[in-house]
A and B are shown apart, each in its own frame.
Chain A
Amino acid sequence: MAITVKIPAPLRPLTQNLSEVALESAATVGAAVEELSRRYPGLRERLLDDKGGLRRYVNLFRNDQDVRSAGGLEAKLSDGDRLSVVPAIAGGR
């Protein structure tokens, strides 16, 4: 088993339209983001700010829990975990 990353529609142009990406292994949320950024150039800027912190308008959920309250990028990942990227969207019309 690996780590599954759910990619939201607004970011799929960067992931060759994949809605789900499997990572062999990643020990932390930060490592998962690094691996994703290596595979899909451009993704890093969407997820991380200049200082390498998690952007404040994109949320990462580890198995449906917000990683902000679980150590952020330091949050540990284990085999079989699912990481969901959820961006703020504002459309209503």
Chain B
Amino acid sequence: MSNAKSKSDLIKAARAEIPEVTPAEFARLTGADRATLIDVREKSEGDAGLLPGAQQIPRGYLELRIEQAVPAHDAPIVLYCQGGTRSLLAGRTLREMGYTNLRSLAGGFDAWKSAGLPVEIPQRLTDAQRARYSRHLLIPEVGEKGQAKLLASRVLLIGAGGLGSPAALYLAAAGVGHLGIVDDDVVDASNLQRQVLHSTERVGMPKTESAKIAIRGLNADVEVIEHRLRLVRDNALELFSKYDVIVDGSDNFGTRYLVNDACVLLKKPNVHGSIFRFDGQATTFVPGGTNPCYRCLFPEPPPPELAPSCQEAGVLGALPGIIGVLQSIETLKLLLGVGEPLVGRLLLYDALEQRFREVKYARDPSCPACGDHPMTALLADYSEAACAVPVR
């Protein structure tokens, strides 16, 4: 007797081992019943669309990549392919690997589509992008989907200075597709000790323009939107409304309260960093629920006589590198929807002691911006040009 098995023998055996789920049944599953959905088709087959929430692992890579995608062998998995056969065979392979909670989508993608159920057209990267962002594509939390998300994201940087420089460079390198930069200053020789976006030959050039040159040189995928203006009450809301995340690298209290108030009103995440000599602070404000805002942390700015102006205070050249990069990491996490942002946590960095510490703070129910009874349309007035202006 021959041991040879035909195609139909294999399929029959697989069908006996792997239970099937119809598209209509699967579409009704929610919450904990919702399995991890794996598309085992070839990459190019997915170009016409994937089931919402599906991860594509071509059958040829299944054994190599499944444990990264689904570490728990008893976690529910639904496999699908184009017509419902390859996913059954893939199910047998996973069973051999010890996966116990497997189902196959009956009729596959074709049946799903003809049932009129929704499909997602994936945003595909070009070959050049796949090479450029390959280290991101290797991280499951980013992958092709996350990278496409970054490329479609819009981040507004307040200030192209000490903090804005490293933040902009790393966000651009990471492939955040649209970077708005607000700054009305020109590059000065005294900036170059720390503002790594700019260069000696660009002294005298508007900072937004200098930033654009540096960013385009690093990554032409990134659209740089120059906002060569001073952020004020009258332009903040319109400007912020066009962006997903605001990165505050401003250099005075007036702007910081204005950025906070505008972000609270528009419910935009505000990634905060500030520096003073050898000290840095970083935190993230995500408006909504019980999350605190900048006014909860610091209800009022110090009076000018107690707040040394930036020019007087000085700053260690490499310090904004640390804090600005922390801001870019917070921003990438928010855009990708991964990890724990610094919400309600203020990260303190002391360069002299080379030490990080974290303190916790809570929402103030009486906060005029985000409290239970907020002042209507509160927007800090920022009319003075000084470096350490009090609000109002």
Give the interface of A toward B (CB within 8 A): 8-10, 19, 46, 55-59, 61, 64-66, 68-69, 84, 86-93
Q: How far is the CA of A93 from the CA of B161 in the complex (A)?
A: 5
Indicate with 1 or 0, residue by residue over B95-119, a CB within 8 angstroms of chain A CB atoms.
0000000000000000000000000
Question: Is B361 close to A, CB under 8 A?
Answer: yes
Q: How far is the CA of A92 from the CA of B276 in the complex (A)?
A: 8
A66 surroundings in chain B (CB, below 8 A): 359-362
- Whether the Cβ atoms of A64 and B358 lie closer than 8 Å is yes
B298 surroundings in chain A (CB, below 8 A): 56-57, 59, 88
- Whether the Cβ atoms of B275 and A89 lie closer than 8 Å is yes
> What 5 A-B pairs come out closest when comparing CB atoms?
A93-B161, A56-B300, A88-B298, A56-B299, A89-B276
Question: Is B248 close to A, CB under 8 A?
Answer: yes
B357 surroundings in chain A (CB, below 8 A): 64, 84
- Whether the Cβ atoms of A46 and B359 lie closer than 8 Å is no
Partner of A9, one of B276, B310, B364: B276
Min distance, Cβ A42 to any Cβ of chain B, angstroms: 11
Q: For chain A, what secondary structure do more than half of its interface residues adopt (helix, strand, loop), or is it mixed? A: mixed
Min distance, Cβ B257 to any Cβ of chain A, angstroms: 10
- Whether the Cβ atoms of A93 and B159 lie closer than 8 Å is yes
List the B residue with the shortest CB-CB distance to A93: B161
Min distance, Cβ B114 to any Cβ of chain A, angstroms: 56
Q: A65-B359, A86-B348 are in contact. Are A91 and B275 (CB under 8 A)?
A: yes
Min distance, Cβ B150 to any Cβ of chain A, angstroms: 24
A19 surroundings in chain B (CB, below 8 A): 350, 352-353
Q: A10-B308, A46-B306 are in contact. Are A90 and B256 (CB under 8 A)?
A: yes
List the B residue with the shortest CB-CB distance to A9: B279
Q: How far is the CA of A89 from the CA of B358 in the complex (A)?
A: 16
- Whether the Cβ atoms of B251 and A90 lie closer than 8 Å is yes
Indicate with 1 or 0, residue by residue over B154-167, a CB within 8 angstroms of chain A CB atoms.
00001101111000
Q: How far is the CA of A58 from the CA of B297 in the complex (A)?
A: 9
Q: Give me 18 A-to-B residue pairs in the complex whose CB atoms sit less than 8 angstroms apart, sorted by A's number.
A: A9-B277, A10-B308, A56-B298, A59-B298, A61-B359, A64-B357, A64-B358, A66-B359, A68-B361, A69-B362, A84-B348, A86-B348, A86-B359, A88-B302, A89-B276, A92-B249, A92-B250, A93-B161
Q: How far is the CA of A10 from the CA of B312 in the complex (A)?
A: 12
Partner of A92, one of B161, B191, B350: B161
Question: Is B315 close to A, CB under 8 A?
Answer: yes
